[in-house]
Amino acid sequence: MSTFDAHQLHGVVSVWSANLDELPCRRDLLSSDELVRSERFHTQQLRDRYIAGRSWLRSVLGVASGAPPASLQFRYLALGKPVLDRPANSLDFSLAHSADVALLAVGGPGALGVDVERVRAGVYEPASADLVLSADELRWIERHADRDRAFLRCWVRKEAYAKVGGMGMDRHLSNLTLTGPRAVDEVGGLAISDVAFDDSLAAAIAVPVDQSFTYRGRWLAEEAA
Ligand SMILES: CC(C)(COP(=O)(O)OP(=O)(O)OC[C@H]1O[C@@H](n2cnc3c(N)ncnc32)[C@H](O)[C@@H]1OP(=O)(O)O)[C@@H](O)C(=O)NCCC(=O)NCCS
């Protein structure tokens, strides 16, 4: 039994977190192209996490769209963003994962983006950070004792923004300041927000400015279809 109904999604973007190692791997829900893709991962753990993530995505979108999870069909934008093709509707979603943790946002109309990263030592490398972070963001990071965490806070906001339009993390993002005292919270019709629910993670979401989001908590294994 799911803890939400489709009508709860109207006007508010719902966000859940999950532990991919605890969610069921429902291969029976996946399409043949998803199963082929799962085989490209080099370890069983990575294969299982991909299958668990896609099973979860299909289960949630099944409730949201009113269609059986296995019947959902995705199409892919040029740089890999999945979009719900069948059943046709105005739902959008965004999935992100970092090691065992995943974040899923579902809402619409309008495109969404989320990102999550486990905070880890040594992730901040000034020499490569300037590819996507602005000079203001880099200065903001340097003022922090925990630069790895500060870097990831900047990174997830940039990536959430990039994922809305199905883009990659490329150089044009360094023209934009989304974190720090001179940051903009709205850009291109999107509102960028932190999703703060766990100190060991950095997470952010980008939604259309006329919509809000709510974090609905951790998705438990027994909630999956
Ligand atoms: C989009 C992108 C920034 C996400 O990177 P990431 O941090 O590794 O992945 P995340 O966990 O945040 O998100 C992955 C999920 O986002 C979705 N996704 C994939 N590409 C996407 C894109 N371009 N835009 C939005 N969402 C995308 C998928 O649902 C994917 O999960 P799934 O395949 O398990 O369903 C990255 O894949 C990227 O830059 N893609 C552009 C194409 C590219 O440069 N490819 C070269 C990769 S070697």
| Domain assignments of the chain as residue spans, ordered by start | 6-223
Q: Cβ atoms within 10 A of the Cβ of 24, count?
A: 16
Q: Going by CATH, does the domain composed of 6-223 fall within 3.90.470.20?
A: yes
Q: How many CA atoms lie within 13 Å of 120's alpha carbon, on the beta-carbon side?
A: 7
Nearest residue (by CA) to ligand 1, atom 36, is: 168
- Return the pLDDT at 11: 74
Please write the tens of the pLDDT for every residue from 72-104.
999 999 999 999 999 988 899 999 999 999 999
Q: Quote the tokens at residue 60.
A: 């949630």
Q: Quote the tokens at residue 167.
A: 């883009």
Indicate if ligand 1 lies below 6 Å from the C-beta of 95: yes
Indicate if ligand 1 lies below 6 Å from the C-beta of 159: yes
Prediction pTM value? 0.95
Residue among 178, 180, 151 at smallest CA distance from 162: 178
SS3 69: helix
What's the pLDDT band for 4 if we cut at 50, 70, 90?
low
Indicate if ligand 1 lies below 6 Å from the C-beta of 80: yes
Strands in 201-208's sheet, in edge-to-edge order, are 113-118, 201-208, 190-194, 186-187
Indicate if ligand 1 lies below 6 Å from the C-beta of 168: yes
138-159 burial, b at 16+ Cβ within 10 Å, e below that, comes to bebbeeeeebbbbbbbbbbbbb
Spatial separation of the C-alpha atoms in residues 115 and 122, rounded to whole Å? 19
